[in-house]
Structure 1
Amino acid sequence: MDTFALIVTIAVALGFTYTNGFHDSANAIATSVSTRALTPRAALAMAAVMNLAGAFLGSGVAKTVSEGLIETPSGKQGMMILFAALIGAIAWNMVTWYFGLPSSSSHALFGGMVGAALAGSSTVYWSGVWEKIVLPMFLSPLVGLVAGYFVMVAILWMFKGTNPHKAKRGFRIAQTVSAAGMALGHGLQDAQKTMGIVVMALVIGDVQNQGDAIPIWVKIACAAMLSLGTYAGGWRIMRTLGRKIIELDPPQGFAAEATGASIMFTTAFMFHAPISTTHVITSAIMGVGATKRVSAVRWGVAKNIILGWFITMPAAAAVAAAAFWVVNLAFG
């Protein structure tokens, strides 16, 4: 039964990564597709390769997820907590995907972990939640907004005397690089989040010791599921990011992607903070769009997205807590 529970939990964790692909992998390529810098097929292939590469770049974020947010629970109870956390995250991802709202898969996962841990009487490291989740949740969009604005201002100033058509052609080529950077950063950030969950499951199942290196098969499986999720359902979110917030042109797309990728690499390598790729790219797009004129950004759509940010963690926590009570009732 213990082995079966471990296999089911890991399968559900990979299922979460698949739904994460619906949401966040689309963020990495939405701007490039919407500006026609890349065809959807080419963008998907590039995102798949770069997600896989990004998954192997580090393990700091995975360590934060597996050790820094909740105490690793043990035994049957521990596996039920982890299972319920994933159910909460997946349920919220599916709801927001259905409505085309780019809410954060990351914060759905963290909300699920906290809700299930509280329901299962496991310890929550509130200082870790505050420092690694809540603060970055507020700071990363602000940084994305401001940095996106100034990167775009710098581009406008540097290329002010250039032929507009020639500049756009050049930025379409440059977007291939910036989109690759976004996809690499996404693999670095989001593949590691699920790696942390799978490692936690392996520790609970006594297959691995706390602090051991992440197995290669875990890295490959998590990155592969991200890529599959992108292919299956990313287009709905792409529409919101690429068209509904503001109509992007290639220079704006490049500025947003370059800003987003820089923030993801900095937070992963310097702070080991698991930030939301959704928050970063969405706020960068808004910052870039505001250089045109403030009214060019469709703030009504932006308001709905921001509302989703604040609802995500408590909603996923509530679903995860309910899932734990149901699982505990059935198998406890």
Structure 2
Amino acid sequence: MFDLLSGLDAWVLVSLVLALAFVLFFEFINGFHDTANAVATVIYTKAMPAHLAVILSGIFNFLGVLLGGVGVAYAIVHLLPVELLINVNTGHGLAMVFSLLAAAIAWNLGTWYFGIPASSSHTLIGSILGVGLANALLTNISLSDGVNWQKAIDIGISLVLSPMAGFAVAALLLLGLKRWLPLSKMHNTPENRKEIKGKKHPPFWNRLVLVLSAMAVSFVHGSNDGQKGIGLIMLVLIGIVPSLFVLDLNSTTYQIERTRDATLHLSQFYQRNNATLGEYLALGKFNGSDLPELFRCEPKQTEPTINALLATLKNVTDYSALPAEKRIEVRRYLLCLDDTAKKVGKLEGLPAREKADLDKLRKDLTATTEYAPFWVIFAVALALGIGTMVGWKRVVLTVGEKIGKQGMTYAQGMAAQITAACAIGMANVFSLPVSTTHVLSSGVAGTMVANKSGLQGGTVRTILLAWVLTLPTSMCLAAGLFWLATRFVG
């Protein structure tokens, strides 16, 4: 890490350190803002003492970040077009980073203070979109180019559908438990069990499931939300010092060769499917040097992009040997080829076997661009894990007592937590960011409806209002802050 940063100007280095501190502070806030949801049911049902629950949750969040990969991280990074990140000067890069982080932190702290289970995911994504749109307006770029709208739509769908799925699945799971085990003690609330049996804790098996599912929620939360922090840091690094982080400079010769081979095989793939793809990609209509002066990720520029990339990577065994501008070019070429390949994979007419080959080629193409240094992963894991251990009480009270008109039963806690762990785990598999807050809160609400406990209208309205307002508010706040920041950087 220190070797990479040793050649930077002092003011760039100071700005970079401040930006990284902002990201880690955001993750710390995310820890006590979001992860309270992971331990809310296990604390409320008295399955575990609060101090032990939050410590274990912090540990599992830490492990989730370390073992979660970077798929979700780059779903966040790719919300902004790569041209926007590598073509702005350092001053504008800093303005973008600090604006989106300040907006996200302000909204998270505000909703946490009032005990509202709002979504850090919505906040972060809204802030990134706001900065992207503001940058487009200020630089006279088309709004369609200011944000990666396809990626934004994919993420938006996951954020909208996941709470609905959480509501429905948790409700069905509770109905199944009531049907199969109608007389079980799991259908008692902690207050009822204490009054009837004089016991403080849930029955053993219910307690075990509550504890295990809570730790599972913490782990998948760390994996999903922790990756958002990793994505933010990579956004900072690529935006402020692109020459050092647009490619993994620790890539081995084999990894670089694999990238080059994937590019060559991609060209062969397109030639093999010329009858289907020739017109869409304009194959054979441009020569190898026929790239426009202002490079764009256009499918019809695929063939010259492949040729330019192969020429740049010829005889390259170490990315560090490439000049800074060439590294930026390589990343741009790779990301554009990957983006086009993704679009090609959705076209009709390609056999399933060919689409499977294309997916494998895409993974090899991005192997040296979608990465995160270990120090980045460790720092985010530490910030999220420590943040988990403080500030959890406000949201625990809301989830446990203020969503339904009656207290939560053990079965409801289990149904909501199991649903949340599975839903977020599936989102991790498909590299989609989702909201732990909304999935779990929706799951609790679903169990309340299934249990005919009723919902507290005031709390539900507050949560829904936060769900609706978070995205536009964070977008406007980040856009406004970015506009102000650009007044100072010129």
* TM-score, normalising length: structure 1: 0.94
Structure 2 residue 95 is the aligned partner of structure 1 residue 80: yes
The equivalent residue for 2:133 is 118
Write the distance in 2 (CA, Å) between the matches of 1:313 and 1:236: 22
Q: Which aligned pairs between 1:249-268 and structure 2 lie closer than 5 A?
A: 249-268=409-428
The equivalent residue for 1:149 is 171
C-alpha offsets along residues 115-173 of structure 1, whole Å, 9 cap, x if unaligned?
A: 112222272011211111x2122211110000000111122223224456698442112
Write the distance in 2 (CA, Å) between the matches of 1:172 and 1:320: 43
Root mean square deviation of aligned Cα? 1.8
Q: 1:161 to 1:49 in 2, by over 3 A?
A: same
Shift of 1:80: 1.5
The equivalent residue for 1:107 is 122
The equivalent residue for 2:225 is 190
Q: Which aligned pairs between 1:319-330 and structure 2 lie closer than 5 A?
A: 319-330=477-488
Structure 2 residue 72 is the aligned partner of structure 1 residue 61: yes
Give the counterpart letter for 1:252 in structure 2.
Q
The equivalent residue for 1:138 is 160
Give the counterpart letter for 1:272 in structure 2.
S
Q: 1:163 to 1:119 in 2, by over 3 A?
A: closer
Write the distance in 1 (CA, Å) between the matches of 2:449 and 2:111: 26
Q: 1:163 to 1:84 in 2, by over 3 A?
A: closer
Shift of 1:279: 0.9
Q: 1:320 to 1:296 in 2, by over 3 A?
A: same
Q: 1:197 to 1:232 in 2, by over 3 A?
A: same
C-alpha offsets along residues 180-214 of structure 1, whole Å, 9 cap, x if unaligned?
A: 11001100110000100101212221331251421
The answer as to whether partners of 1:61 and 1:268 remain within 8 angstroms in 2 is yes
The equivalent residue for 1:92 is 107
Report the more deviating stretch, 11-20 or 115-124: 115-124
Report the more deviating stretch, 308-317 or 72-81: 72-81
Q: 1:288 to 1:168 in 2, by over 3 A?
A: farther
Report the more deviating stretch, 184-193 or 295-304: 295-304
Structure 2 residue 177 is the aligned partner of structure 1 residue 17: no
Shift of 1:79: 2.6
Q: 1:125 to 1:302 in 2, by over 3 A?
A: same
Write the distance in 2 (CA, Å) between the matches of 1:237 and 1:131: 29
Write the distance in 2 (CA, Å) between the matches of 1:212 and 1:226: 22
The answer as to whether partners of 2:85 and 2:238 remain within 8 angstroms in 1 is no
The equivalent residue for 2:396 is 238
Which of 191, 213, 230 is the aligned partner of 1:178?
A: 213
Shift of 1:304: 1.1
Q: 1:252 to 1:163 in 2, by over 3 A?
A: closer
Q: For 2:35, what is the secondary structure of its paired residue? A: helix
Write the distance in 2 (CA, Å) between the matches of 1:273 and 1:153: 29
Shift of 1:227: 2.2
Which of 108, 128, 151 is the aligned partner of 2:151?
A: 128
Write the distance in 1 (CA, Å) between the matches of 2:170 and 2:185: 23
* TM-score, normalising length: structure 2: 0.64
Report the more deviating stretch, 80-89 or 160-169: 160-169
Structure 1, gaps ≥5 residues long: none
The answer as to whether partners of 1:168 and 1:251 remain within 8 angstroms in 2 is no
Write the distance in 2 (CA, Å) between the matches of 1:79 and 1:158: 57
The equivalent residue for 1:35 is 45
Shift of 1:329: 2.0
Which of 228, 231, 245 is the aligned partner of 1:208?
A: 245
Shift of 1:70: 4.5
Write the distance in 1 (CA, Å) between the matches of 2:162 and 2:477: 26
Q: For 2:182, what is the secondary structure of its paired residue? A: coil
Write the distance in 2 (CA, Å) between the matches of 1:242 and 1:69: 38
In our comparison, the structure showing a higher alpha carbon Rg is: 2
Which of 56, 64, 74 is the aligned partner of 1:46?
A: 56
Shift of 1:69: 4.5
Q: For 1:38, what is the secondary structure of its paired residue? A: coil
Write the distance in 1 (CA, Å) between the matches of 2:185 and 2:444: 24
Q: For 2:381, what is the secondary structure of its paired residue? A: helix
Q: Which aligned pairs between 1:263-282 and structure 2 lie closer than 5 A?
A: 263-269=423-429, 271-282=430-441
Which of 460, 467, 481 is the aligned partner of 1:302?
A: 460
Structure 2 residue 444 is the aligned partner of structure 1 residue 285: yes
Q: 1:168 to 1:108 in 2, by over 3 A?
A: same
The answer as to whether partners of 2:79 and 2:128 remain within 8 angstroms in 1 is no
Give the counterpart letter for 2:392 in structure 1.
G
Identity of aligned residues (%): 32
Write the distance in 2 (CA, Å) between the matches of 1:23 and 1:157: 35
Write the distance in 1 (CA, Å) between the matches of 2:70 and 2:173: 29
The answer as to whether partners of 1:69 and 1:124 remain within 8 angstroms in 2 is yes
Write the distance in 2 (CA, Å) between the matches of 1:154 and 1:212: 42
